[in-house]
């Protein structure tokens, strides 16, 4: 089980901004159990990436904590990292190398034995339909091929918790489906999966539970039917808009 408890993150104000500080994430709580796909939804600047970066140990929460079973991110950063696979929306891959080479490199970085790397790599390349391009330089790959490579790298160590920030952003529907089908198969294998997305259709299809974040605050949380039952709307997109569009129920 992954539990986020009263998570907040405050940044110093960025240059050019009059505000001294930005409260990017404000007292967020939610949880996700094995086999579940949790969708974090929110407009640009809502705090999704900041939340996922806190969960992935890349940045330290200002307050609150995150737990995976009995481990927490503040005290057990190293164990935490080994249990998490994080895909960022701005992962930069060195264009000179091939997917195959990068997987070996990241496998060794994760202190995996060579035969385990080979086995894991071969499974990921097959599952993500990558075998045609694993020996091509990353520079020569399409956006979708690069994204599949980033997905495979983030999962080389077979983490229990998969955290993907906008995994289908910029992908065509075929590649997008390959990635989301893959996530479904990982959830069925008992992994904990948390994604952020702007795509309501994908969210509705893929996620078992949702959190709608606006200006760092959790506005709605639960299954699709729980969220819809408590609203005046009959779909997720309209509930979402009710929090962000001028004239919406909650604005
Ligand atoms: N390193 C940082 N320093 C200062 N402010 C930051 C930093 N990172 C994010 N922020 C601010 O925190 C807020 C939340 O940003 P975040 O990237 O988490 O939003 P998001 O929901 O992921 O948005 P998007 O949909 O555009 O990716 C924004 O106001 C952003 O400017
Ligand atoms: Mg983001």
Cβ of 232 closer than 6 Å to ligand 1, yes or no, is: no
Residue nearest to atom 26 of ligand 1 (CA): 44
Give me the sign of the Cα torsion angle 77, 81, 82, 83.
Answer: positive
The answer to whether the CB of 105 is under 6 A from ligand 1 is no
Which of 7, 13, 19, 45 maximizes ligand 1 atoms within 8 Å of its Cβ, making it the mutation to test the pocket?
45
pLDDT tens digits, 78-94: 999 999 999 997 778 99
Confidence of residue 13 (pLDDT cuts 50, 70, 90): confident
User: Which residue's CA lies nearest to atom 24 of ligand 1?
Assistant: 44
Residue 61 pLDDT more than 80?
yes
- Residue 46 CA, closest ligand 1 atom number: 21
Mean pLDDT of 182-194: 96
Ligand closest in space to the Cα of 43: 1
Domain boundaries, the chain: 2-86+159-244
Q: Measured from the CB, is residue 46 less than 6 Å from ligand 1?
A: yes
What's the confidence (pLDDT) of residue 17? 67
Cβ–ligand 1 distance for 16 under 6 Å, the answer: no
Specify the residue with its C-alpha closest to ligand 1, atom 6. Answer: 11
Q: Is 70 in the pocket of ligand 1 (CB under 6 A)?
A: no
* Overall average pLDDT of the 107-115 stretch: 95
A 10 A CB-CB count for 8 gives 18
**Cα(235) to centroid(ligand 1), Å:** 27
What pLDDT score does 20 carry?
A: 85
Token pair belonging to 138: 């990353």
Ligand in nearest proximity to the CA of 51: 1
Helices (H), the chain: 48-55, 77-83, 99-109, 114-127, 143-154, 173-188, 200-206, 224-229, 236-244
Hey, whose CA ends up nearest to atom 2 of ligand 1? 11
User: Per residue in 207-223, pLDDT tens?
Assistant: 999 999 999 999 999 99
**Whether 250 contacts 219, CB under 8 Å:** yes
User: Residue 166 CA: which ligand 1 atom is closest?
Assistant: 27
E strand map for 116-206: 161-165, 192-197
Closest ligand to Cα 23: 1
Binning the chain into helix, strand and coil, the percentages to the nearest 5 are 40, 25, 35
Percent of the chain residues topping a pLDDT of 90: 85
**pLDDT for the residue numbered 190:** 97
**Are the C-beta atoms of 236 and 206 separated by less than 8 Å?**
no
Fold adopted by 2-86+159-244: Rossmann fold (3.40.50)
Query: Residues within 5 Å of ion ligand 2 by Cβ?
Result: 48-49
Indicate if ligand 1 lies below 6 Å from the C-beta of 211: no
Instruction: Tell me, using a 6 A CB cutoff, whether residue 67 lines ligand 1.
Output: no
Whole-model pTM: value is 0.94
Of the pLDDT bands very low, low, confident and very high (cuts 50, 70, 90), residue 71 is very high
β 2-12/84-87 pair status: unpaired
Query: What does residue 144 show for φ and ψ, rounded to 5 degrees?
Result: -65, -40
């Amino acid at each position: 089980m992954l539990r986020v408890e009263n998570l907040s993150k405050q940044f110093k104000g960025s240059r050019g901004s009059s505000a001294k500080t930005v409260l990017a994430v404000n007292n967020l709580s939610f949880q996700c159990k094995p086999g579940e796909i949790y969708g974090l939804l929110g407009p640009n600047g809502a705090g999704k990436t900041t939340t996922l970066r806190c969960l992935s140990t890349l940045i330290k929460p200002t307050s609150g904590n995150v737990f995976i079973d009995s481990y927490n991110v503040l005290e057990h950063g190293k164990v935490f990292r080994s249990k998490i696979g994080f895909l960022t929306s701005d992962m930069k891959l060195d264009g000179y190398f091939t997917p195959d080479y990068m997987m070996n490199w990241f496998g060794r970085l994760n202190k995996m034995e060579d035969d385990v790397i080979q086995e894991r790599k071969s499974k990921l390349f097959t599952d993500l339909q990558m075998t045609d391009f694993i020996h091509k330089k990353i520079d020569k790959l399409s956006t979708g091929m690069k994204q599949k490579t980033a997905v495979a790298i983030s999962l080389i160590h077979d983490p229990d918790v998969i955290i993907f920030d906008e995994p289908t952003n910029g992908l065509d529907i075929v590649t997008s489906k390959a990635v989301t089908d893959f996530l479904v198969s990982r959830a069925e294998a008992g992994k904990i999966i948390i994604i952020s997305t702007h795509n309501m259709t994908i969210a509705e299809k893929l996620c078992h539970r949702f959190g709608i974040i606006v200006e760092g605050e959790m506005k709605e949380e639960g299954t699709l039917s729980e969220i819809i039952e408590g609203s005046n709307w009959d779909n997720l997109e309209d509930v979402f808009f009710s929090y962000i569009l001028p004239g919406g129920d909650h604005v």
